[in-house]
């Protein structure tokens, strides 16, 4: 019964998936592409997204937390798929990883030692390694990786399926830091024992896939592009929009010159104005800062957001739209064919990742209805 509806087009998701496959896997028969489905598939819903990607042939998934990996494992055939957990296996989670066949990404020497101890007890030893080449977030430092490479007694106990690093500036292909990271990654990989020289390597995220073969290595981890966000700064988006967000017009008010709208009276009518009140606010995921520069679309025409976005309601100026074309009960597009998720992110002075995950969190409540098509 919600007045606000988030629609996810799984056919468009599949199209984006195949765009990535064409751009990456054609470069070599040994290339593999995996889907990043952390944060509830960037807010679009992990279960239906994973099911559709599985149907399209995806067998490699990446999540942040073990609990997210469990959702993936319960959605598809985890005995066939590989489900990597970026945060690794935290103390006490070992049996959970074994039960659901999750693969920890080990980020430190301590992680390795704990995982080896569990592997000796259980016989389950699958893992990935994360090498830090400039993000300074998670992953082995250069000294830590050097220590690991010299510890053959530990490495012998781990079935390493992937060695990965993460690009700092993938959204700007020409950034010098990307080249520095590639050199650092190659240098560190050169330290690995010859017996493990064939372990698959991974550097490319969504933007990295399209940055060229220098960043491809063996495995790509694609995220934001799958969901229709633009992985690049200042370039056209090559991917199809996946989500549409619409909200109902609850009321239309006629304002005289000088009358104000919303808290703080930060907006005042400079002319006789028609204002539509929408059934969406920051409690539904619309970032409060959107009120300064954001727009919605009504019947394909832009209407600026005015005044402050409130908890449950948002006001827009429809004065320039034909009065007969807008009525109470009509729906306004917040994100869709006219306004992209990147447009809304720019208006809110943020990134499309935050916009997607913010609306996704709220669509798990009863305030925003989530609908799947395709």
Asked whether residue 85 is domain-assigned, the answer is yes
pLDDT for 351: 92
pLDDT for 18: 94
Q: Which of 27, 99, 263, 337 is catalytic?
A: 263
The distance between the two most distant Cα atoms of the chain, rounded to a whole number of Å, is 79
Are 280 and 136 in a shared domain? no
Last residue of a domain, one of 227, 255, 273: 227
Tokens matching residue 321:
């739209």
What residues make up the domain containing 289? 243-373
Last residue of a domain, one of 169, 198, 227: 227
What is the domain count for the chain? 2
CA distances from 137 to 113, 114, 199, 245 (A): 20, 20, 23, 33
27 is catalytic: no
Are 291 and 358 in a shared domain? yes
Please say whether the beta carbons of 363 and 285 come within 8 A. Answer: yes
Are 41 and 111 in a shared domain? yes
Judged by DSSP in three states, 254 sits in strand
pLDDT for 27: 59
Query: pTM of this prediction?
Result: 0.94
Cα first-last separation, the chain: 22
Are 42 and 165 in a shared domain? yes
Are 287 and 326 in a shared domain? yes
Q: How many Å apart are CA 152 and CA 19, to the nearest integer?
A: 40
Give the residue among 129, 185, 180, 137 at the shortest CA–CA distance from 159.
129
Last residue of a domain, one of 195, 227, 259: 227
What is the CB-side half-sphere exposure of residue 113 using CA atoms within 13 A?
7
Q: How many Å apart are CA 85 and CA 167, to the nearest integer?
A: 18
Q: How many Å apart are CA 250 and CA 82, to the nearest integer?
A: 47
Q: Which of 38, 42, 124, 282 is catalytic?
A: 38
pLDDT for 31: 84
263 is catalytic: yes
Written as one string, the DSSP assignment of 261-326 is ESGGG-EE-SSSEEEEEES--GGGT--TTHHHH-EEEETTEEEEEES---SS-EEEE-TTS-GGG-
pLDDT for 42: 95
Are 37 and 142 in a shared domain? yes
Judged by DSSP in three states, 169 sits in coil
The pair phi, psi for residue 371, each rounded to 5°, is -125, 140
Q: How many Å apart are CA 359 and CA 357, to the nearest integer?
A: 6
Q: How many Å apart are CA 335 and CA 359, to the nearest integer?
A: 11
Asked whether residue 235 is domain-assigned, the answer is no
Asked whether residue 339 is domain-assigned, the answer is yes
Neighbouring CB atoms inside 10 A of 310's CB total 18
Tokens matching residue 110:
């301590």
pLDDT for 181: 92
Are 165 and 192 in a shared domain? yes
Report the interhelical angle of 10-24 vs 46-55 (nearest 10°). Answer: 50
Per-position pLDDT tens, the chain of length 374: 689 999 999 999 999 999 999 888 765 567 899 999 999 999 999 999 999 999 999 999 999 999 999 999 999 987 889 999 999 999 999 999 999 999 999 999 999 999 999 999 999 999 999 999 999 999 999 999 999 999 888 999 999 999 999 998 877 766 788 889 999 999 999 999 888 888 999 998 988 887 777 788 999 999 999 999 988 877 788 888 999 999 999 999 999 999 999 999 999 999 999 999 999 999 999 999 887 889 999 999 999 999 999 999 999 999 999 877 899 999 999 999 999 999 999 999 999 999 999 887 766 667 899 999 99
- Position of tokens 């190659």? 186
């Amino acid at each position: 019964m919600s007045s606000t509806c988030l629609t996810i087009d799984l056919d468009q998701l599949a199209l984006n998936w195949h765009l990535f496959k064409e751009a990456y896997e054609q470069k070599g028969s040994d290339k593999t592409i995996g889907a990043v489905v952390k944060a509830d598939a960037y807010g679009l819903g992990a279960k239906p997204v994973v099911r559709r990607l599985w149907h399209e042939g995806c067998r490699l998934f990446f999540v942040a937390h073990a609990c997210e990996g469990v959702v993936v494992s319960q959605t598809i055939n985890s005995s066939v798929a590989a489900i990597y957990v970026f945060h690794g296996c935290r103390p006490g989670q070992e049996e959970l990883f074994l039960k659901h066949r999750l693969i920890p990404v080990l980020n430190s020497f301590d992680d390795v030692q704990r995982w080896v101890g569990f592997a000796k007890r259980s016989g389950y030893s699958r893992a990935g390694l994360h090498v830090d080449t400039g993000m300074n977030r998670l992953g082995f430092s250069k000294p830590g990786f050097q220590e690991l490479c010299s510890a053959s007694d530990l490495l012998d106990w781990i079935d390493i399926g992937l060695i990965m690093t993460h690009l700092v500036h993938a959204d700007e292909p020409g950034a010098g830091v990307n080249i520095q990271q590639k050199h650092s990654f190659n240098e560190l990989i050169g330290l690995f024992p010859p017996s493990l020289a064939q372990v698959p390597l991974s550097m490319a995220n969504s933007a990295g896939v399209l940055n060229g073969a220098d960043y491809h290595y063996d495995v790509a981890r694609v995220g934001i592009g799958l969901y229709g966000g633009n992985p690049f700064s200042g370039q056209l988006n090559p991917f199809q929009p996946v989500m549409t967000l619409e909200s109902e017009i609850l009321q239309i008010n006629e304002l005289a010159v000088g009358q104000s709208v919303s808290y703080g009276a930060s907006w005042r009518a400079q002319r006789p104005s028609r204002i539509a009140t929408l059934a969406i606010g920051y409690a539904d995921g619309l970032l409060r800062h959107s009120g300064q520069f954001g727009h919605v679309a009504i019947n394909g025409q832009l209407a600026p957001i005015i005044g402050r976005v409130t908890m449950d309601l948002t006001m827009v100026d429809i004065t320039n739209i034909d009065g007969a074309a807008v009525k109470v009960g009509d729906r306004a597009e917040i994100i869709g064919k006219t306004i992209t998720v990147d447009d809304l992110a720019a208006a809110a002075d943020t990134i499309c990742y935050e916009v997607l995950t913010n609306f996704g969190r709220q669509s798990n409540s009863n305030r925003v209805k989530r609908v799947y098509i395709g």
